[in-house]
Structure 1
Amino acid sequence: MTSNLIELCIDADDPVRLAAFWAGLVGRETDAHDVVLAGEEPAFAIRFLLGRERRTGPNQIHLHLTSTTPEQQQSTVDRALRLGARHLDVGQTPEEGHIVLADPEGNELCVIEAGNTFLADTAFLGELACDGTREVGLFWSLALDWPLVWDHDGETAIQSPRGGAKIAWGGPPVRPRSGRNVMHLHVTPTTRDDLDAEVERLLSLGATRLDAGHGDACGVPLADPDGNEFCVMEPREGTRRLRR
């Protein structure tokens, strides 16, 4: 038994506007203005929910977009700025090749330079870059049955055997949490009958139960070993697949 990653959920002040931004940036269509299909196989969605939390610092997750040439990197940056992004200073140096931006609601994203070897085998949406411990990387490797593709000095990364975006954790020190994360994951078991068993499996791997107030009325709310919220959904409940 395993969990399938179906979507990354982002709390937003204006879900329609933010969905339109990301749809335009990654070249996808929206479904009911709140979901964007992201990445190649294995595909998952980005869903934009009416936000209940206000940002008090950097997000625990930010997205990395890849480039095959310097011209493509600049084209992605230009497209993002036209759609409403802005440049963001997070202390990066001029020698660093990636370009840091914020989407219209301030969520961080990076446009990675061409030739980046770590993301060479990924899609345009190359990485969910997370603040987190090695323990949480090992948890998600077991939860999703995605092998570790990096495990060094407390940093970890996983990737589906079928390719697509990586999920990476930067290792300690981890920023102190202050309230519910703006971004969280939705996963689902293989079949509807496996929901309770999959929840129990995730608990045995190190997840903890959360009260219903942490969820978004559409799944079983849990927290990973770092305390980050995620939801276990019934199959086909969590996302509407989009047209390519």
Structure 2
Amino acid sequence: MALRPVQVNIKALDDTAVGRFWAEALGWRLSGAEPGATSAQPDGFDWLDPAAVAIDVIAVPEPRTATKNRLHLDLATTSAAHQAELVARLRSLGATPVDVGQGEVPWTVLADPEGNEFCVLEPREIYRDTGPIAVVVVDCADPWAMARFWGEALDWTPHEVTDDHAVFRSAKGVGPYLEFLRTPGAKTVPDRVHLDLLRYPDDDQEAEVTRLRALGAGDLDVGQGEVPWRCLVDPEGHEFCVLARSSS
């Protein structure tokens, strides 16, 4: 029994516009399975692929607050020229520079058309084989506690756990990393961005949810009503969903 991240879920006033931005930003294809939901997926996206992490944008009526999201994406680059070119292209697509207190750093902090922050990293050898998304970064207070919970929740492999961060990646050694980064400040508002997790075909959704609760997850009611997925929070209150579908 285990789960794996398969989607970064983004809430947006205009799911089509935000979904289009991310599809063009990452060089992925755009799909809309139903009104109010737009996905950006790599070509040949396969739910069974251990490297498969897509973006799902869901329409909501509430505008984003000014509070920084506690989950964001870091995008990979292969050279200084590629970083500069990517930043310029993203800005032409509607991204804007933002100041989150980063100071003088070698990466560039931007926001998508609805203000969701992300970073364009300087070239780093460790991210050469991740694809366009290098890291899914989650702000946290205690990386060790996050390592304990998420290390049991997921089938991903821990790569490094320190007082500053806890880093995971697929056991197959492919796709993006997942990093829980020690960050000042507590969570104060629901995030516009969260992870969607998927079970394996032979596992049971309710059994997985029960297992997560035993690890320290809590139930979450965001007014979702009767839906086939399950909304939960980790021990620090980060929202995530366990999808109903199997990966078959």
Name the TM tier (shorter chain): 0.7 to 0.9
Unaligned runs of 5+ in 1: 238-244
The verdict on how the C-alpha distance between 1:11 and 1:48 changes in structure 2, with shifts beyond 3 A counting, is same
Matched residue SS, 2:127: coil
**Equivalent residues in 2 for 1:58-137, closer than 5 Å:** 58-94=68-104, 96-114=105-123, 116-132=124-140, 133-134=142-143, 135-137=145-147
Counting aligned pairs with the same residue, the percent is 33
Matched residue, 2:40 = 36
**Equivalent residues in 2 for 1:39-58, closer than 5 Å:** 41-53=50-62, 54-58=64-68
**Aligned partners of 1:181 and 1:67: how far apart in 2?**
27
Match of 1:168 among 176, 179, 188: 179
Matched residue SS, 1:170: strand
What is the root-mean-square deviation of aligned Cα atoms in Å? 2.4
Q: Work out whether residues 199 and 246 of structure 2, in 8 Å CA contact, stay in contact via their aligned partners in 1.
A: no
Task: Say whether 1:159 aligns with 2:169.
Answer: yes
Counterpart amino acid of 2:181?
Answer: G
Matched residue SS, 1:110: strand
Unaligned runs of 5+ in 2: none
Deviating more after overlay: 175-184 vs 74-83: 175-184
**Aligned partners of 1:35 and 1:196: how far apart in 2?**
25
**Aligned partners of 1:193 and 1:166: how far apart in 2?**
24
Q: Work out whether residues 192 and 234 of structure 1, in 8 Å CA contact, stay in contact via their aligned partners in 2.
A: no
Matched residue SS, 1:31: strand
The verdict on how the C-alpha distance between 1:169 and 1:85 changes in structure 2, with shifts beyond 3 A counting, is same
Q: CA deviation at 1:117?
A: 4.2
Counterpart amino acid of 2:80?
Answer: P
| Moved beyond 6 Å, runs of 4+ | none
Question: Which structure dedicates a bigger proportion of its chain to strand?
Answer: 2
**Aligned partners of 1:215 and 1:108: how far apart in 2?**
29
